[in-house]
Amino acid sequence: MRQRIAHVDDDPDIRDTVRRILNTHGYEVDSYQTTKDFINALSEPSVVPDLAILDVMVESMDAGLTTYVELHNRFPKMQVIFLTSLGDMILPYFENKSEEWICIIEKPIEPSDLLSIVRDRLGTTKPELSVS
């Protein structure tokens, strides 16, 4: 079974490029224009991804960060990569958070670097829904 990746970015060119890179290397990619679309899709268990790639500024200045919190609460084992033009500027938001769970990379990124990071992050199993 192919590993599933969700990618949220409001730029259609970036969504298309990331999808092509990851599809070419055997990943199943679900692309979303908004974090709201992504969160709504998670009600269907078959689309819960192994990894989420989020932009920070989608519908609002911090939509990606808000989505991160919701994902971490609902799917504590899901890996997340922030693919953002803000780069290290968002690091203070993650103070005292585990680097095992969060990864921040700055746009633009070389396809080979993206693939390397995705492969590294997907060394885990499919996320499980937390029961709280």
Report the chain's mean pLDDT, rounded to a whole number.
Answer: 83
**38 has pLDDT over 80:** yes
Within a domain: 82: yes
Angle at 129 between CA 50 and CA 82, to 5 degrees: 40
- Count Cβ atoms below 10 Å from residue 21 Cβ, excluding itself: 18
Give the rounded distance of the alpha carbon of 31 from its chain centre. Answer: 10
Within a domain: 105: yes
Within a domain: 98: yes
Domain of 54, in residue numbers = 4-121
DSSP code string of 81-114: EEEETTGGGGGGGGTT--TTTEEEEESS--HHHH
* CATH assignment of the domain containing 96: 3.40.50.2300
Within a domain: 25: yes
Within a domain: 86: yes
**73 has pLDDT over 60:** yes
Within a domain: 127: no
**123 has pLDDT over 70:** yes
Query: What domain count does the chain have?
Result: 1
CB 31 within 8 A of CB 13: no
Within a domain: 130: no
Per cent of the chain over pLDDT 90 is 49
